[in-house]
Amino acid sequence: MNQVLIDDDACTGCKTCYRACFADVIRWDAEAKRPIIAYPEDCVHCNFCEISCKDEALKVVADWDLPYPPVLERGFPYTVGGPR
Amino acid sequence: MTDLSHLGRVEQADVVVIGGGIGGLVAAVAAKEKNPDADVLVVERATAGWAGQANKGAGIWWYLAPEDDPDTFVKFHCDHIGHYIEDQDLLGQFGRESLATIERVDGWTHKLQRRDGEIIHKRFKPFLPWSLTGMDLDLMRVLARHAKKLGVRFIDKTSLTDLLTDGGRVAGAVGFSLLDGSPLVVQAPAAIIATGGQSYRIMGMWSCQRGDGLGMAWRAGAEMRNAEWGPFAQLAGIRGKEPLIGAEDALYNAWHEKLSPRFRGELEADVCGMTSATWYKQMMAGNGPLVTFHPENWMLANTTEDVEGGTVWDRPVAVKFWTTLISRVRAADAPGAFLEVYPAVLGELSPIKVDHHMATTVPGLYACGNACYNGSGLPGAVPASPGRMRGAGLYGATFMGIRAGESAAAQVATGAAPQADAAQAEALVREALAPLERADGVPAMDLVKAVQYAVNPVGYSIYKSEERMTEALGIVEGLKERLPQVKAADAHYLVAAHDARNMALSAELFYRTALERKESRGWFIREDYPERDDTDWLKWINAARTADGGMRIWTDDVPVADYPFQPSAAQPAAERS
């Protein structure tokens, strides 16, 4: 699974990462004024939250071995992704 | 106005723009400029100004510079890209209006890059009869701020699922909040679909395109056109899965045979469909895996600076975005000179049929951008923007967004006021939220993945045959039976439940129309009909929903005799120029 790591000390609660995430991975804790990584399974590592954070408080770590739908039909033994 | 307050939050607007990507924002601004008194509301599933494809692409804008000739462009497009399936009149307008259009966007955003007053521009390839310029990827936020300044209203984190109608006219839309699943009902006499097309959630970066606009237009009775040209695919590194520009020019099989000269001509505008077909045939013949050899990839060397560098155009956000992404992708992919590649399906189904004013066949309903790129007839035999014309995505959405916004604003000025039907609204809200109520059922993402299995294989959707497409359609038909049982744990997965429904519809629409076209033309490549057939297939394929929920398909002749350019007698097969 892709990960979005938050440096709580660096975060200033500006909410930019919440707005930047188009995949609804990041929700917002209004009380704590901090992002919640609510649906990391849907992160597509576009990195937009990370590059948009003026405080450099987020880092996206991609999982390159996520399952990928078949590229050849009928069970032809060829897979994309996973350890090579 | 019908009282619908018992259903939840109700908003009234003159124009509801569905989707806050570049097409939607441009449409909203254009509607306000045309009719400043119009109440324009943008509803976006993510956050307007951050959403959509525009800020995750190269930030490249296609246009015709003063030295580029519009007729030369249309002729080149017909011969090498659209293969005479274009609406040449619309394509000509697309070219002739491009400079004024990007200047208009610059008036809103001040993001065009100039030197001594001149727009900084270049050619993608020396022989292509058009120019490219660049804007930085924070353009969308600037555009959203400009729209707000004009009085456009926004509702974010809200997914609209279906349209309300009154006697066949648009009367609004219904949907729900992603944050808590609460319903939203919008009453509006005009709606603009700006949701992008359909990318089946396969390529991560484009997975904002989930066919929601296509689905709601279809269910409201809108006709579709040119659905058979999708999906687009481009070679990508096996692990990083990021499309690699120019890989098709330096493609080798496992026996060190260079394949590129065999399928790719000298005058290729851009990525060609024969690349994926060649990959498929080589793999099936036991000649895989296929690799690209970086030192021979002249396009990569020629374009990296445009996208990742800062010297052609000063674009700090784009540079940060691309250097972050590409450095990680390259680290994940093989670090050597050879890289194993596969055809990555990027999607791009865009079949909502629109006229030159971006009006759909449903009164009061308009569309723009990748929701209707192919449906407009503009690009011809190639999937949605950019298709094979880099930079046409941003410009195309803008060209269409302006027309859609102005058309909707003009309609509102006539004062027509359709009334939402309370029973219809109640039924659509109930249907939208139903997956939340099912304790037992099929998880939404299981169905999303099932559609991907029917669309992603190259032999199904790119290098096609009747046998393989029928097989894929069988998968779609099978999963359609499971759609009524889809369940969602919360509002986030409720979006996925609707994605599954719209993805299944998109796949069915694609395969049923693709089975009709019995030839190969441009991006559309069939193993069983390898030749282009100008006698029988200079046609547009249309589709519409029947009263019993089925699919009616028919063709219209492309009025090519009325257009400036006609095909010559001897034409090449498929993709070769």
Residue among A39, A76, A78 whose CB faces B492 most closely? A39
B22, B47, B479: best mutation site toward chain A, by most A Cβ within 10 Å?
A: B47
**If you measure CA to CA, which chain A residue comes closest to B236?**
A80
For an interface test with B, which of A65, A73, A74, A84 has the most B Cβ atoms less than 10 Å from its Cβ?
Answer: A73
Q: What pLDDT score was predicted for residue B576? A: 42
Per CB-CB distance under 8 Å, the chain A contacts of B325 are: 46-47
Q: Do B325 and A46 touch (CB under 8 A)?
A: yes
User: Across all residues in chain A, what is the average pLDDT?
Assistant: 92
B5, B1, B29: which is closest to B15 by C-alpha? B29
What is the ipTM metric for this complex? 0.94
Query: Which residues lie below 8 Å from residue B413, measured CB to CB, with a gap of 6+?
Result: B35, B38
What is the per-residue pLDDT for A84? 41
Question: For chain B, which residues score pLDDT lower than 70?
Answer: 266, 302-312, 569-577
Residue numbers in B near A78 (CB within 8 A): 283, 288-289
**Which chain B residues touch A45 with a CB distance below 8 Å?**
204, 328
Q: Do residue A69 and residue B452 have CB atoms under 8 angstroms apart?
A: yes
Q: Which two tokens stand for residue B316?
A: 């700090």
Binary contact (B328, A38; C-beta < 8 A): no
Cβ-contact B200, B231 below 8 angstroms: yes
pLDDT of residue B575: 45
How far away is chain B from the Cα of A6, in angstroms, using its nearest Cα?
17
- Closest Cα to residue B40, out of B182, B192, B167, B218? B192
- pTM (predicted TM-score): 0.96
Helices (H), B51-190: 70-77, 88-96, 98-109, 139-150
HEC assignment per residue over B234-297: EEEECCCCCECCCHHHHEECCCCCECHHHHCCCCCCCCCHHHHHHHHHHHHCCCCCCEEEHHHC
* CATH annotation of A3-61: 3.30.70.20
The reply to whether residue A70 touches residue B457, judged by beta carbons under 8 angstroms, is yes
Domain boundaries, chain A: 3-61
The minimal CB distance from B50 to the residues A22, A38, A76 is found for A22
Gap between the Cα atoms of B195 and B372, Å rounded? 10
Q: What is the pLDDT of residue B569?
A: 67
Identify the pLDDT of residue B307.
60
